[in-house]
Amino acid sequence: MAERVFMKGTEAIAEAAVRAGCRFFAGYPITPQNEIPEYMARRLPELGGTFVQGESEVASVNMLYGAVSTGIRAMSSSSSCGISLYSEGVSYCASARLPAVYVNVQRGGPGIGAIQPAQQDYFQATKASGNGGFRMIVLAPATVQECVDMTYEAFDLAERDQNPVLILTDGVMGTMMEPVVLPPMKTDAELAACKAKFADRAIVGHPLGKQAYCRPGSVGDGQEQVNIAADALYKTWGKDVRVEEFMMDDAEIVFAAYGISARISKVVVKELRKQGVKAGLIRPITVSPFPYDTFDKLDFNRVKGILDVEMSIPAQMKWDVEFAVKGRCPIGECLRSGGQLLTNDQVMAGAQKFIKEVL
């Protein structure tokens, strides 16, 4: 039986990245993700890897660009306003089709906002992580174990698609501690095989007189061809949609929530069931691509309403829920923001109020 260890979310993310083969990390301090670079600063030198504290977020994300250009597995992390400064560099990675992995441990906003947890970067993550209309797979863990599993897999997804991948978590998930089972360490042979797949594009220096690989650019129709190829990639992501449906077989009241808000909602769903209310939960695990079909295929003769639960004011994920539902049932809100945490009691009160309105 695999050994379980007790770890903080941020440190679990860092260890999972190391075990996935990450051998370069660049980052800049910002609460509440500081333990990721702190952990990497200690851990990477033990494996012959490299940690760099950039002089800024802008410097860090461009170091990430440079590292993944050589074919090694690399990662960065920040929080909310820091992630905003990543946008140009991530856009460059998307244009050059580079498999960058990065993490957003969300905090309150807009602006510098609050250092406490929030879920106010949903639009940024899923709709506009940078200029040019590129898209990414965005994974949203709801447990520390999922933080581990999704980080470990993110490198494979990024390399499969030659495209950036984002882990979208928050300050609650980052700072809480839970038991986890850690994945195996990638062997040197496995990492060499991964790097070999990238050899024809890797910028590692070339013998005199040999043509080096040139990234797709904006000369002539070059950039448009890059965008056409990217669009074709995005259309294959239907197979990557992940969603949890909890107690949905006969649900009349449906909670829609991701990440920590989904954990809270699940507790309330169980309590409402004890009270005789047929409640259920839909939890997007990939918030990009979003599980539109799960909402679209609900039996709206049975479902009386959907309650969107998120730590964001105004609501953000609700936009995607509304797009899928197309007005076929009422959609309510239970929200906090700016670092103010949702509680079980608050979600229960919001649910009871909504139930009276729709049942």
Q: Which of 206, 223, 238 is the last residue of a domain?
A: 238
Q: Is the CB of residue 15 less than 8 Å from the CB of residue 152?
A: no
> Which pLDDT belongs to residue 219?
54
Average pLDDT over residues 111-128: 95
Going by pLDDT thresholds of 50, 70 and 90, the confidence category of residue 218 is low
> Which pLDDT belongs to residue 211?
57
What CATH number is attached to the domain comprising 176? 3.40.50.970
Q: Could you tell me what percent of the chain has a pLDDT over 90?
A: 89
Site of tokens 């509440």: 32
Has residue 357 got a pLDDT over 80? yes
* Amino acid of residue 132: G
Query: Both 162 and 24 in a single domain?
Result: yes
pLDDT digits (tens, 9 = 90+) for 282-305: 999 999 999 999 999 999 999 999
Query: Both 177 and 91 in a single domain?
Result: yes
What CATH number is attached to the domain comprising 319? 3.40.50.920
> Which pLDDT belongs to residue 208?
66
Closest C-alpha to 80, from 177, 142, 169, 172: 169
Has residue 210 got a pLDDT over 70? no
Going by pLDDT thresholds of 50, 70 and 90, the confidence category of residue 206 is low
Query: Both 182 and 164 in a single domain?
Result: yes
Query: Both 233 and 248 in a single domain?
Result: no
Query: Both 28 and 119 in a single domain?
Result: yes
Q: Which one is predicted more confidently, 195 or 294?
A: 294
Average pLDDT over residues 95-112: 95
Structural domain total, the chain = 2
Average pLDDT over residues 195-224: 70
Q: Is the CB of residue 255 less than 8 Å from the CB of residue 271?
A: no
Query: Both 230 and 287 in a single domain?
Result: no
Q: Which of 199, 217, 238 is the last residue of a domain?
A: 238
Going by pLDDT thresholds of 50, 70 and 90, the confidence category of residue 181 is very high
What is the reported pTM?
A: 0.95
Has residue 349 got a pLDDT over 70? yes
Going by pLDDT thresholds of 50, 70 and 90, the confidence category of residue 209 is low
Query: Both 26 and 55 in a single domain?
Result: yes
Q: Which domain holds residue 320?
A: 244-358
pLDDT digits (tens, 9 = 90+) for 247-293: 999 999 999 999 999 999 999 999 999 999 999 999 999 999 999 99
Has residue 212 got a pLDDT over 70? no
Has residue 103 got a pLDDT over 80? yes
Has residue 344 got a pLDDT over 90? yes
Query: Both 221 and 110 in a single domain?
Result: yes
Closest C-alpha to 358, from 335, 333, 332, 334: 332
Flag the least confident range among 45-54, 78-87, 217-226, 334-343.
217-226
> Which pLDDT belongs to residue 216?
58
Query: Both 53 and 152 in a single domain?
Result: yes
Query: Both 147 and 20 in a single domain?
Result: yes
> Which pLDDT belongs to residue 201?
79
Going by pLDDT thresholds of 50, 70 and 90, the confidence category of residue 224 is confident
Over the range 198-221, which residues count as b (16 or more CB within 10 Å of their CB) and which as e? beebbeeeeeeeeeeeeeeeeeee
Query: Both 231 and 94 in a single domain?
Result: yes
Has residue 142 got a pLDDT over 90? yes
Has residue 327 got a pLDDT over 60? yes
Going by pLDDT thresholds of 50, 70 and 90, the confidence category of residue 203 is confident
Lookup: tokens for 265: 């909602």
Average pLDDT over residues 316-335: 98
Average pLDDT over residues 129-142: 96
pLDDT averaged over the chain?
A: 94
> Which pLDDT belongs to residue 215?
62
> Which pLDDT belongs to residue 200?
79
Bridge partners, 243 (sequence order): 284
Query: Both 333 and 232 in a single domain?
Result: no
Average pLDDT over residues 195-203: 83
Pairing state between β 243-246 and 24-27: unpaired
Q: Which of 207, 238, 269 is the last residue of a domain?
A: 238
